[in-house]
C-alpha cells in the first residue's frame, strides 16, 4: 500500500462517526437484535471443511464420480461450493458406529435429507440455511421467524420447565449474559439433520446457542451440541450472522410444503404425471 493510499484510508476511518460502531440498545440496555439476519457460508452443505464437487448425489463414472442421474440436469446449480469448517477443530466426535450412519445418510441424501421434503429444519440448521430469518425483540419477549417452511421459535425468557412433547423446532429458553443472548434448545425430535452431508443427532439432543454482537450489524453465532447417544463429547459450531440493511431487509415467506407435494405424493395419483412424460 502506498503512502497516499494509507493516508486516504486513515482519513476515511477518522471521518466515520463514533456512533456508527456503537450498538443500538433496547430501553433495558440489552443489544437490539431486531432485524433480518443471514449467514454467508456453505455450512448447509457440510459443517466440515469441504472442497467443491460436481454434486452431493453422485455415481461412478469412467474417470471418477459424476452427478447422479436424478441431479444431472441441474448442472452447475446442483454442484457443491467449497467451504471452510464451522466446527471447532474440524471434527464431529461421533461414537463408534455412528459415523457409519452419517456416511449412509450422505450416500442416500436425495431420499433422506429432510430439507428436500420441506420438513422444519430444527436448531441449529435453521440458522445457516440459505434463507434469512428475522428476530423480533422487545424488552420482555423474543421471537424468531424463518423464511424456510414458515418455521418459528418463541424464546421463553423464564424457564418453562420440561416440554410436553418433542417437536421439530424444540423448546427454546433464553437468558442474557452481559451482551450475549444465550438460548438453550431441548425437546427436538430426531428427524432433522445438521447439513446435507447427513450429519445427524438423536432425540437426546441439547443445543446451547450464543448470539454475541460484534458490531451494529454482525452477530457471532455459536452453538454447542450435546447428544450422548451419538457423540463422545460436546462440540461447537461458530459463524458470523449479518443483518440485512438494504431495501430487501424484510422476510419473504418460503412455505415450500406445496412445492414438494408432487415429489412426496405424486405416485399416489390414479395417473401419475411421470407416465405422461414417458409417452
What confidence tier does 6 reach under pLDDT thresholds 50, 70, 90? Answer: low
pLDDT digits (tens, 9 = 90+) for 217-259: 999 999 999 999 999 999 999 999 999 998 889 999 899 999 9
Q: What is residue 274's predicted lDDT score, i.e. its pLDDT? A: 67
pTM for the full predicted model: 0.89
CA distance 63 to 73: 19
Q: Are strands 152-156 and 171-177 parallel, antiparallel or unpaired?
A: parallel
**Residue 14 CA neighbour count, 13 Å, CB half:** 6
Q: How many CA atoms lie within 13 A of 270 on its CB side?
A: 0
Dump pLDDT digits (tens) for 131-144.
999 999 999 999 99
Give bridge partners of residue 31 from the DSSP assignment. Answer: 25
Is the pLDDT confidence value at 61 over 60? yes
Go through the domains of the chain in sequence order and give each one's CATH number.
32-44+103-278 (2.40.128.20)
Q: Are 86 and 237 in contact (CB under 8 A)?
A: yes
pLDDT of residue 200: 98
Give me the DSSP letters along the chain. Answer: --HHHHHHHHHHHHHS-GGGGSPPB-TTSSB---EEEE--S-TTT-SS-B--BS-SSEEEETTEEEE-TTTGGGGGGGSB--B---BGGG---BPTTHHHHHHHHHHTHHHH-TTTTT----TTHHHHSSS-EEEEEETTEEEEEESBTT-EEEEESS---S-SS-BSS-EEEEEEETTEEEEEEE-B-S--BSSTT--B--TT-EEEEEEEEEETTEEEEEEEEE-TTTBSS-EEEEEEEEE--STT-SPPPB-GGGGGHHHHHGGGSSS-HHHHHH-
Q: What is the predicted pLDDT for the residue at 161?
A: 95
Q: Using 50, 70 and 90 to split pLDDT, how confident is the model at 18? A: very low
Q: For residue 204, what is its C-alpha cell?
A: 437426546
For residue 49, is pLDDT > 50? yes
pLDDT tens digits for range 178-210 = 999 999 999 999 999 999 999 999 999 999 999
The alpha carbon dihedral of 46, 50, 52, 54 has a sign of negative
Q: Nearest CA to 38 among 275, 260, 252, 262?
A: 252
* pLDDT score for 273: 82
Amino acid at each position: 500500500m502506498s503512502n497516499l493510499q494509507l493516508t486516504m484510508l486513515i482519513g476515511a476511518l477518522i471521518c466515520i462517526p463514533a456512533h456508527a460502531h456503537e450498538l443500538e440498545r433496547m430501553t433495558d440496555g440489552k443489544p437490539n437484535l431486531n432485524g433480518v439476519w443471514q449467514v454467508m457460508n456453505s455450512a448447509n452443505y457440510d459443517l466440515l471443511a469441504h472442497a467443491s464437487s460436481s454434486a452431493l448425489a453422485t455415481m461412478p463414472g469412467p474417470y471418477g464420480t459424476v452427478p447422479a442421474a436424478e441431479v444431472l440436469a441441474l448442472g452447475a446449480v446442483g454442484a457443491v461450493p467449497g467451504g471452510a469448517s464451522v466446527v471447532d477443530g474440524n471434527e464431529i466426535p461421533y461414537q463408534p458406529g455412528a459415523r457409519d450412519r452419517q456416511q449412509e445418510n450422505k450416500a442416500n441424501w436425495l431420499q433422506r435429507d429432510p430439507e428436500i421434503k420441506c420438513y422444519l429444519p430444527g436448531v441449529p440448521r435453521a440458522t445457516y440455511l440459505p434463507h434469512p430469518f428475522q428476530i423480533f425483540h422487545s424488552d420482555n419477549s423474543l421471537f424468531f421467524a424463518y423464511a424456510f417452511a414458515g418455521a418459528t421459535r418463541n424464546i421463553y425468557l423464564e424457564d418453562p420447565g420440561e416440554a410436553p412433547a418433542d417437536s421439530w423446532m424444540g423448546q427454546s429458553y433464553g437468558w442474557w449474559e452481559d451482551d450475549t443472548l444465550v438460548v438453550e434448545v431441548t425437546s427436538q425430535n430426531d428427524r432433522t439433520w445438521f447439513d446435507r452431508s447427513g450429519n445427524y443427532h438423536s432425540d437426546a439432543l441439547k443445543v446451547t446457542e450464543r448470539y454475541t454482537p460484534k458490531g451494529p450489524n454482525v452477530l457471532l453465532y455459536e452453538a454447542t451440541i450435546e447428544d450422548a447417544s451419538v457423540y463422545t463429547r460436546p462440540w461447537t459450531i461458530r459463524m458470523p450472522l449479518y443483518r440485512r440493511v438494504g431495501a430487501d431487509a424484510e422476510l419473504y415467506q418460503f412455505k415450500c410444503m406445496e412445492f414438494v407435494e408432487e415429489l412426496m405424493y405424486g405416485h399416489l395419483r390414479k395417473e401419475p404425471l411421470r407416465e405422461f412424460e414417458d409417452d
